[in-house]
Structure 1
């Protein structure tokens, strides 16, 4: 009897040691994955808290909240830096092109120039300078966004309204009729339409929109290459021959002004190639 009891104790201890070791290995793997996510600038990674002790759950929640806050602050600093740079560049370029444009107009108004061989060259300089001014003015929207006027918005009605504007794609909407967001309707529409247009330009035929504590906007268009994924929110970055590179950065900026963030999901929703996430920047939400 004593031998059997001793064997049972040994078996139980062995099993307990094995489970403890397995649990520690799992924690180590999760810590490694989170470290890699942060190192690669992916702040959407979250460590699961299921099958954890209450103390570990509290610690993991704190780490997840910290990562969320780091991502929010990083994105906010990036937006502010690019906003300042854009403001300075547009100001300096306009200062340089305005006198050039004025001089060209004066020369072109002169009768002696109209019949001279210099006319075509001056016209080329004038037209190029005018185009540059128009180009610069188009980027002023990065620094001149209207002040948000948030309201209690019914999310299903909002998405359904945007879907009616794009009947060429198949929409898959999974949102409760009671779900609301406190947000500026016009600014959200601007960001939402930018995402939808990008999807359609990438060949999407299906767009999925669902709510699961955050707004997920998915499409089956061409996947975003890993080397481009980290730059899609950088102003003026584009892979399109005629792209402006301000659609997604502007969308993120108008959302961050209202306490939300726009990010690219590391893993798209099932059945889609790309998923964008609109989430609250409140870590406890």
Structure 2
């Protein structure tokens, strides 16, 4: 009898040691994945806290919150840095092009220049300078965004109202009917339109808008975004398109950040799609 009890105790102890070891290995693997995600600039990664002891769960929740705050502050610092640079560049370029354009207009207004061989060159300088001014004005939008005026809106109705703008796109919407959020509708519309434009430029035929875990996932089946471009995707002026401006996605991130939201590219797109953007930290009621 004593031998049987001793064997049972030994089995229980062995099982407990095995479970403890397996649990520690799981924690180690999750720590490795979180470290790799942060090193690769992915601040959307979350460590699951299910089946954890209450102390471990509290620690993991704190780490997840910390990672979320680091991602938000990093994105905010990037936006502020590019905003300052854009403001300086547009000011200096305008200071340089204004007198050039004025001189060209004066020369072209002179009757003596009509028959001059220099007229064509002066017109080329004028047109190039004017085009540069238009280019600069488009980037000035980065620093002249209206102050948010948040209101409570039904997210399903809002997204459904945007679908008519893209009749050639097949929309797949999975948002609760009663879900409402507090946000500036004009700025949210601007952000989503830029995201959808990015999809249509990539020849997307299907777009999904899905609400999950307090996040809005906007996915499309257009051309995938190459991994080498992920890090620069929200950098102002950066574009891989021949006629792209490079301000759509950075502007979208900025207008959402002004309202306490984040715009990120999911490292792994949702099933059935090639690209997924995530608007997170959206308070629902």
Q: Same fold (TM over 0.5)?
A: yes
Aligned to 1:234: 235
- Name whichever of 72-81 and 10-19 sits farther off: 10-19
TM (norm. structure 2) is: 0.97
Aligned to 1:177: 177
Aligned to 2:205: 205
* Cα offsets for 1:210-266 (capped at 9, x unmatched): 111111111111111100011110001111000000000000000011111101111
Q: How many residues align?
A: 283
8 Å contact from structure 1 (residues 203, 221) kept in 2: yes
8 Å contact from structure 2 (residues 215, 282) kept in 1: no
8 Å contact from structure 1 (residues 43, 71) kept in 2: yes
Aligned to 2:135: 135
Aligned to 1:104: 104
Aligned to 1:268: 269
Aligned partner of residue 43 in structure 2, secondary structure: coil
Distance of 2:170 and 2:240 partners within structure 1: 25
8 Å contact from structure 1 (residues 259, 280) kept in 2: yes
8 Å contact from structure 1 (residues 72, 281) kept in 2: no
CA-CA distance at 1:281 after TM superposition: 7.6
Aligned to 2:46: 46
Distance of 1:242 and 1:218 partners within structure 2: 23
Aligned partner of residue 181 in structure 1, secondary structure: strand
Aligned partner of residue 139 in structure 1, secondary structure: helix
* RMSD between aligned residues: 1.3
Q: 1:281 to 1:189 in 2, by over 3 A?
A: closer
Moved over 3 A (4+): none
Aligned to 2:32: 32
Paired residues for 1:3-18 under 5 Å: 3-18=3-18
Aligned partner of residue 35 in structure 2, secondary structure: helix
Aligned to 1:155: 155
* Cα offsets for 1:11-30 (capped at 9, x unmatched): 11111111111111110111
TM (norm. structure 1) is: 0.97
8 Å contact from structure 2 (residues 145, 255) kept in 1: yes
